[in-house]
Amino acid sequence: MSTKTVLVTGGAGYIGSHVVRQLREAGTAVVVLDDLSTGFREAVLDAPLVVGNTGDAALVDAVLREHHVDAVLHFAARTIVPESVADPLRYYANNTCATRNLLEACVRHGVRRFVFSSTAAVYGPTADGRAGEDTPTQPISPYGCSKLMSEWMLRDLDANGSMKHVILRYFNVAGCDPHGRIGHSTRDSTLLFKVACEVAVGKRGELAIFGTDYATPDGTGIRDFIHVEDLADAHLRALDHLDRGGASTTLNCGYGHGYSVREVIAAVERASGAPLRVVERPRRDGDIPALVADARRIRDVLGWTPRHDDLDLIARTALAWERRLAARGA
């Protein structure tokens, strides 16, 4: 990579820390900006960590200047759909307004490459449960809206020549570093694999299935689950794409096939060797029946080939990390 220093916002969080580790393994200079509200200092293995928020203009200016940053990977955000429905202004402030501040600082300091952590929540329901990058965006949660508004800002900065970008629309991220160095440590997570593994190790008493009457084969929601290691690799390839002069683009990050909630539970049960206590609950606001990525474009544009497309592997790595956390009382 030709970049001098990459700023990774939210680099102490679940996905960001995996990307930072892969960047450092590739020999890239990295600085992390994270307010540690959901991230963990120990997840930043060997990069400088600046504790603070992307909404702090003076701090962002100082980081960009002092570390000679010429590319940004932006992960810092609130990401819980039901929480966004209950407190939408928090999401617009933290996700959209703080991103605007970061982008303004980047333009001011001449940062020309930006990789943005977006979400499949920008799509909303689709007729066939699949979404390609050209599928109309119609988010049904403030979370999805807050991310889409940030995408629009990047589109407009590309149009006026200020900055090139890659927008990566994540589907459902799961799993952990197969070598157990870092993992998903977020407290009170709502992500299915994380919750299921916490039940498996006794940290939670039960796992709730929200909605069992969807028009799917087993009545539960279907999602496209992507291993965090493959997602992290997509970010490095996105940065390489921009470093080589590639055009701004938007790409789905998924495997192109889905699993139901009950199938995920079964995978965690296989990994743990014991059944999970499961309860059934009504549907949640902001959830949709099925959403699977059309993931052909990312393979064509970035040459990305996933290496961890295996539901049982995802379950084993997620559970191994949860057992590690339980062993140290975390």
Same domain flag for 239 and 307: no
Q: Kindly state whether residues 234 and 140 are assigned to the same domain.
A: yes
Candidate list 143, 170, 255, 259, residue with the active-site label = 143
Q: For residue 297, give the CATH number of its domain.
A: 3.90.25.10
DSSP-based three-state secondary structure for 229: helix
Is residue 169 situated within a structural domain?
yes
Predicted confidence (pLDDT) at residue 75 exceeds the cutoff of 60:
yes
User: Per the domain annotation, does 184 fall within a domain?
Assistant: no
pLDDT of 252-305, one tens digit each? 999 999 999 999 999 999 999 999 999 999 998 768 899 999 999 999 999 999
What angle do the packed helices 98-108 and 142-159 form, to 10 degrees? Answer: 20
179 lies in some domain: no
Average pLDDT, the chain: 95
For residues 283 and 312, membership in a common domain is answered with: yes
Percent residues over pLDDT 70 in the chain = 98
Q: Percent of the chain having pLDDT more than 90?
A: 92
Looking at the structure, tell me whether residues 44 and 128 fall in a common domain.
yes
Instruction: Please give the structure tokens belonging to residue 55.
Output: 């909404």
Write down the pLDDT at residue 149: 98
My answer on whether 117 and 197 are in the same domain is: no
What average pLDDT does the segment 208-222 reach? 96
113: CB partners within 8 A, 6+ apart: 3, 70, 71, 72, 163, 164, 165, 239, 242, 243
* Cα–chain center distance at 46: 21
Contact between 77 and 95 under an 8 Å Cβ cutoff? The reply is: yes
CATH assignment of the domain containing 90 = 3.40.50.720
Which letter does DSSP use for residue 106 in this model? Answer: H
**80 lies in the same domain as 94:** yes
Count the Cβ atoms, other than its own, within 10 Å of residue 269.
17
Which tokens sit at 90? Answer: 């928090």
If asked whether residues 207 and 129 sit together in one domain, one would say no
Q: Are 170 and 210 within one domain? A: no
What is the number of structural domains in the chain? 2
Return all residues near 190 (Cβ < 8 A) that are at least 6 apart.
Answer: 80, 81, 82
Residue 124 within any structural domain of the chain: yes
158 neighbors 248 (Cβ within 8 angstroms): yes
Residue range(s) defining the domain that contains residue 73: 5-174+225-253
31 inside domain: yes
* Domain match, 115 and 207 both: no
Query: Is there a single domain that holds both residue 154 and residue 57?
Result: yes
Considering the domain architecture, whether residues 128 and 202 belong to the same structural domain is answered as no
For residue 300, being part of any structural domain is answered with yes
DSSP string, 259-298: EEHHHHHHHHHHHHTSPPPEEEEPPPTT--SEEEE--HHH
Strand pairing category for 207-210 and 278-281: parallel
Question: Is residue 3 very low, low, confident or very high in pLDDT (cuts 50, 70, 90)?
Answer: low
Whether residue 180 is contained in a domain is answered as: no
Q: What is the DSSP string of 170-205?
A: E-EEE---TTSSS----TT---HHHHHHHHHTTSSS
Structure tokens belonging to residue 327: 């062993």
CA distance 30 to 52: 16
Alpha-carbon gap, residue 118 to 36, rounded angstroms: 20
Q: Specify the pLDDT at position 1.
A: 44
Is residue 81 situated within a structural domain?
A: yes
φ, ψ of residue 3 in degrees (nearest 5)? -65, 150
14 flagged as catalytic: no
Residues 6+ apart with CB under 8 A from 327: none
Find where tokens 């991310």 sit: 147
126 and 240 share a domain?
A: yes
Question: pLDDT at residue 152 above 70?
Answer: yes
**Could you give the strand order of the β-sheet that contains 222-223, starting from the edge strand earlier in sequence?**
130-131, 290-293, 222-223, 259-260
List pLDDT tens digits, range 176-192: 999 999 999 988 888 99
Q: What is the pTM of this model?
A: 0.95
